[in-house]
Chains A and B, each alone.
Chain A
Amino acid sequence: MNTKRVLALMLALVMVLGLVAACGEKEADPTDAPVVTDAPEETDAPEETDAPEETDAPEETDAPEETDAPADPDDLHKEGRLDENGNAEIALITDVGTIDDKSFNQGSWEGVVQYAIANDKTFRYFQPTEVSDAAYINSINLAIEGGAKIIVTPGFLFEIPIYTVQDQFPDVNFILLDGYPHAGDWVPAISDNAIGILFAEEESGYLAGYAAVHEGYRDLGFMGGMAVPAVVRFGYGFLQGAEDAAAELGLAAGDINVKYTYVGNFDASPENESMAASWFQEGTEVIFACGGAVGTSVMKAAEKANAKVIGVDVDQYAESETVITSAMKNLKKSVNDAIASIYDGTWEGGISVVLSASAGYTMISMENGRFENFTQAQYDAVYAELVAGNIEIPKDTAENGEQILEPTDLTFELIVVENIK
């Protein structure tokens, strides 16, 4: 019996070693797999942190959007950089998801990395153990104990945690993205050391819808993740963009059909793939996939159906050939700018700001766009109109501050919106 146990233990060990060896092998031959995987194969990241030289491996997602980045480090610097006591001045607390989610958290983290590398600051990130106010506050406390002077928190889920801690640590600056601190009642309660950064997502959505119709698509789809404010704004902007383009093209009422839904998660699940496949089956030509990993499901369905996808948040052109463009918000620039304002003394706290096209924070990807008919000139023209404020786009809240819950509450003359629940 005893020998048997020893034997089995040996077997188990062999298996573990086998796994490790297999991993090692795969890592060792990155050179003979020069294809699609343009992620940096060599991620022996820890040492690199104190030598931020530019590795020239093209990083998949962040490269294209940085039109204005002075020194963008090509990797994610996952280990951060600490001083000799293990402390870091700038700390990011992640929301649901990780710093390599190719979307929201990653964009914010890249902003931190960009500033910290360029200005030789120490930085790191914390990942809360679970999604709860308590866990988020815990992570914030941990970061401050670890020497953080600036805390970056991506996601509206941080609204209440930041509200709770902002007055306890008057010397610490809080940068909250996609929301503003409040006590749970949505009445802004922002201390001078905090700032709430919102984006005019409806503008990006508008450009996406506008471009899709001008490109020649008539059957559109919008698959949002959860109906959180940012996703809703993307969606309503998308509808308005399609409407305005239809008017410009002189289309008749009913020529444009838009299927509209929130899938209720941010997952790449077979359910989402199946829903996208069913829309394509019914004749939808392009789907605006607006919800994190939902995008990979939609892209899969599009690849099978020879249809098209519009990406979201960051430029997702590299993820699939089917991505014709992406509705983006420049998280990286916003985080970088906010941190810079703290160090150069121009910080204006106590407010929530909405970053929009007028300062280049919202856009769609043109340089990596796969358009055949929609031209850069058309894009520049509509963008100028947007910046000039000549375009009215519905938001997630009405004039009286009430939430607009359903797209069917909006009125359109030309496009037909099919709300799918």
Chain B
Amino acid sequence: MTTIAFVVQQTMIFSIPLLIVAMGGMYSERSGVINVGLDGGMIMGAFTGTVFLNQMQGHMSGQGLLLLALLVSGLTGFLFTIFHAFASINLKANQVISGTAMNMFAPAFAVFAGRLLFGTQQVPFRDTFYIREVPLLGDIPILGPLLFQKAYITTYVGFLIFFFAWFVIQKTSFGLRLRACGEHPGAADTVGIDVQHMRWAGTLISGFLSGIGGLAFVVPTSTESNATVYGYGFLALAVMIFGQWRSFKILGAAFFFGLMKTVASAYSAIPGIKSLPIPATVYKMIPYIATLIVLIFMSKRSQAPAAEGIPYEKTGR
């Protein structure tokens, strides 16, 4: 039981940032804008979030501080993505190039600003956020150890964001319009939806969530941020594609990736797997191989938004 609880607790560390960022990516792509700049957004969010933690930790501590820092990270991602939205929606630039530019800019900026502020590119923070056990909820048998012990509040924030994001895109008229802009912007336009506005909204939401994901990535796994998220923004893109741009499939994909990552690095603590004659590298490869296989078999039936990546021209319809 403790082993299972341990695996679940560790899986959260990997899955939650992936989930948050992949949901962000979904918003952008289903509005019709490819955002490969998620990695850059995560780095920016992780940077400003840790700078905020670093500067405020003398005045505040605990969950309130972390929640505020998450907000700061989200806003940073939001502002950062304005570049991408402007280039790809208003200027109709190639969206992959613009996203790549963001990915190259973000780590460079984090190193530069980090050195300017602290003299080193690493931004340390003091961890006062670790929850050994949630009061009351942590005592629930089975469920308590799985979800409410040894966790970070980012886990719960991640689930809240997921359900909220799912509800908005699937159950509200805003979501319906956003999806229409990604599938058939011409049709959306004829019924009076402002395609540019919806795409701006989708892209900025993805930026906001990538920023949050960046801090949710750093806080549980390190004592400092170091101008990188080790490619997890790209992994989140893979999760989104693996999840076929659909909320609950993305949820499943994020936990599948997270579980495989956990098994690959923590397998020595999992009795059944430890005795199998499979090298850990196999587990490391599984998520990527699975993504490739899914892409191969789903390419004909891909549920990718039909108009993603194509700038909308009113005259072209």
Q: Which residues of A contact B (CB under 8 A)?
A: 4-5, 8-9, 11-12, 15, 18-19, 22-23, 26-27, 29, 32-37, 39-41, 43, 45, 75-76, 78, 98, 100, 102, 259, 267-275, 277-279, 281-282, 293, 296-297, 299-300, 303-304, 319-320, 418, 420-421
Say yes or no: B122 contacts A36, CB within 8 Å. no
Interface segment among B30-38, B111-119, B168-176: the answer is: B111-119
> Chain A residue with minimal CB distance to B112?
A23
Picked from A26, A269, A272, A282, the residue with its CB within 8 Å of the CB of B117 is: A26
Chain A residues near B2 (CB, 8 Å)? Answer: 281
Say yes or no: A100 contacts B120, CB within 8 Å. yes
Alpha-carbon separation in the docked complex, A386 to B30 (Å)? 66
> Chain A residue with minimal CB distance to B127?
A303
Question: Is B130 in contact with chain A by the CB < 8 A criterion?
Answer: yes
Question: Is B302 in contact with chain A by the CB < 8 A criterion?
Answer: no
Chain A residues near B56 (CB, 8 Å)? Answer: 33
Tell whether A277 pairs with B223 under 8 Å between CB atoms, given A78-B115, A300-B127: no
Interface mask (B77-98 → A, CB under 8 Å = 1, otherwise 0): 0011011001000110000000
Question: Is B268 in contact with chain A by the CB < 8 A criterion?
Answer: yes
Chain A residues near B265 (CB, 8 Å)? Answer: 270-272, 274-275, 278
Tell whether A12 pairs with B119 under 8 Å between CB atoms, given A278-B265, A300-B127: no
Say yes or no: B224 contacts A268, CB within 8 Å. yes
A/B interface sample: 11 pairs, CB < 8 A: A5-B90, A27-B116, A32-B58, A33-B58, A39-B120, A43-B115, A43-B117, A269-B230, A274-B261, A277-B266, A421-B280
Nearest CB on A from B266, distance (A): 3
Chain A residues near B14 (CB, 8 Å)? Answer: 270, 274
Say yes or no: A102 contacts B122, CB within 8 Å. yes
Chain B residues near A267 (CB, 8 Å)? Answer: 230
Tell whether A304 pairs with B130 under 8 Å between CB atoms, given A37-B54, A78-B115, A270-B14: yes
B 111-141 contacts with A by CB, 8 A = 113, 115-122, 124, 126-127, 130
Alpha-carbon separation in the docked complex, A365 to B120 (Å)? 23
Chain B residues near A15 (CB, 8 Å)? Answer: 79-80, 82-83
Say yes or no: B150 contacts A304, CB within 8 Å. yes
Chain B residues near A78 (CB, 8 Å)? Answer: 115, 119
Nearest CB on B from A52, distance (A): 16
Say yes or no: A300 contacts B269, CB within 8 Å. no
> Chain A residue with minimal CB distance to B269?
A278
Say yes or no: B221 contacts A27, CB within 8 Å. no
> Chain A residue with minimal CB distance to B262?
A274
Nearest CB on B from A317, distance (A): 13
Alpha-carbon separation in the docked complex, A32 to B57 (Å)? 11
Nearest CB on A from B225, distance (A): 9
Question: Is B73 in contact with chain A by the CB < 8 A criterion?
Answer: no
Picked from A9, A19, A37, A296, the residue with its CB within 8 Å of the CB of B118 is: A37
Say yes or no: B269 contacts A319, CB within 8 Å. no
> Chain A residue with minimal CB distance to B284?
A271
New A-B pairs, 10, CB < 8 Å, besides A19-B79, A33-B56, A39-B119:
A15-B83, A27-B116, A35-B126, A37-B118, A270-B220, A274-B261, A278-B265, A281-B269, A293-B226, A303-B223
Question: Is B10 in contact with chain A by the CB < 8 A criterion?
Answer: yes
> Chain B residue with minimal CB distance to A42?
B119
Tell whether A270 pairs with B115 under 8 Å between CB atoms, given A11-B86, A36-B126: no
Alpha-carbon separation in the docked complex, A34 to B14 (Å)? 33
Tell whether A100 pairs with B264 under 8 Å between CB atoms, given A11-B82, A37-B54, A270-B14: no
Say yes or no: B58 contacts A35, CB within 8 Å. yes
Interface mask (B29-73 → A, CB under 8 Å = 1, otherwise 0): 000000000000000000010010011111100000000000000
Question: Is B303 in contact with chain A by the CB < 8 A criterion?
Answer: no
Nearest CB on A from B109, distance (A): 8
Question: Is B288 in contact with chain A by the CB < 8 A criterion?
Answer: no
Picked from A4, A32, A319, the residue with its CB within 8 Å of the CB of B90 is: A4
Nearest CB on A from B189, distance (A): 16
Interface hub of B2, B221, B230 (most chain A Cβ within 10 A): B221
Nearest CB on B from A364, distance (A): 21
Say yes or no: B268 contacts A36, CB within 8 Å. no
Question: Is B312 in contact with chain A by the CB < 8 A criterion?
Answer: no
Tell whether A36 pairs with B57 under 8 Å between CB atoms, given A268-B224, A271-B261, A304-B150: yes
Picked from A29, A100, A282, the residue with its CB within 8 Å of the CB of B121 is: A100
Say yes or no: B127 contacts A37, CB within 8 Å. no
Alpha-carbon separation in the docked complex, A296 to B124 (Å)? 10
Chain B residues near A303 (CB, 8 Å)? Answer: 127, 130, 223
Say yes or no: B121 contacts A98, CB within 8 Å. yes
